[in-house]
Amino acid sequence: MSKIICILLSSALALCSVVLVAASSRNIKQKTYSGNREIKSEKIYVLPDNLELDCLGKAVSGIVTDAYAKTDFPEGIPEKLKKAYSVNKNLAGWLTIPGTEVDTAVLQSGDNSRYLTRNFYEMSTGELSNVNYGNLYLDYRCHKDSLSKNMVIYGHTTGRSDGIPKQVFRSLYDYRDKAHFIDCPVINYSTLNQEYVYKICAVFYSTARSADDNGYLFNYIYPDMSDNNMVGYIKQVKQRMLYETGVSLENTDKVIALSTCIYDYGKNVDTRLVVLGRLLHDGESLEIDPSSVKDNPDYRRPQVWYNAHGKTNPYKGTERWTPSPN
């Protein structure tokens, strides 16, 4: 089981430093996919000049497409998602984090590898450049129409500082700063039939290799744990959170986990940064009480970090959580 989890984390979360490119105006023969099976289609759409492929919130409105009028839309789909859906039927939803650059489509396929290397327009490496950037995507095990207990979304980041535009999940790096969290504490996520608001409750690191942490891998990407099982999940999150947010997290809550690569423990430690939100409670304010946001200087690091710093790991003997739907 641990090998299976490790493979999932390694393949599904292999989202590392990348850069953004622009596309010239072009006519594209649209391709529709069911899982990884291509369905032939003659629908054509045109991409605008100098299109920033990762800035979909601005770009989709500029697409000229004859697919829209011919598309059979899912019942209840918001009007604002129809053009995006007409371009890519693998659209699972739309993610926006107010106050950040995140305003983009979320795709889903039959596995967790397709959109590591294909963008919203189904362009792969050879069609763009010598590197590839993929697209935000929902874990293939999550229910795209009705919320899973844990809606897991993966995305690439950039680590460049030479003026190249940021890949969309680079914005998550800003959540290492408590002040940024206070200013931008809300995640908006729309499925194809409903709009949801999540309040960020934790920001934490987790490793993708069990070998880095005494043979234990925190499987935070499990989508459908039971309320009872989520008690252990919450304990793991609280051990790892970089600071206390003052936002409650209960085992009856549904959460959204935004995950991307980060190397704050060094290039040899395969690490993920996770921004975790939970559904907004009835009558709850969207704002954060700054006085409740506090440092957590002893948050849990991987064992290799304690070894490198000559420190004792206070979490070494703590209970290990195993996800379960029961």
What residue ranges do the domains of the chain occupy? 2-27+90-308
Q: What is the mean pLDDT of residues 149-166?
A: 71
* CA atoms of 206 and 218, how far apart (whole Å): 7
What confidence score (pLDDT) does residue 58 get?
Answer: 58
Residue where the block lists tokens 């490790």: 6
Q: What is the mean pLDDT of residues 257-265?
A: 94
What confidence score (pLDDT) does residue 260 get?
Answer: 94
Residue of 58 and 224 predicted with greater confidence: 224
Identify the weakest region by mean pLDDT among 42-56, 65-79, 80-94, 224-238: 42-56
pLDDT at position 83 over 80? yes
Residue where the block lists tokens 């000049």: 49
Where b means 16+ CB within 10 Å and e means fewer, 237-252 reads: bbbbbbbbbbbebeee
* CA atoms of 232 and 76, how far apart (whole Å): 36
pLDDT at position 254 over 60? yes
Q: What is the pTM (predicted TM-score) of this model?
A: 0.85
Q: What is the mean pLDDT of residues 296-319?
A: 96
What confidence score (pLDDT) does residue 101 get?
Answer: 85
What confidence score (pLDDT) does residue 19 get?
Answer: 31
- Cβ of 25: how many Cβ atoms within 10 Å? 11
Asked if 151 and 255 touch (Cβ cutoff 8 Å), the reply is yes
In this structure, which topology does domain 2-27+90-308 adopt according to CATH? Sortase; Chain: A; (2.40.260)
**Which tens digit of pLDDT belongs to each residue from 3-56?**
444 444 544 444 443 333 333 334 444 444 344 444 334 445 565 555 555 556
SS3 content of the chain, % helix, strand, coil (to 5): 25, 25, 50
What confidence score (pLDDT) does residue 326 get?
Answer: 96
What confidence score (pLDDT) does residue 87 get?
Answer: 87
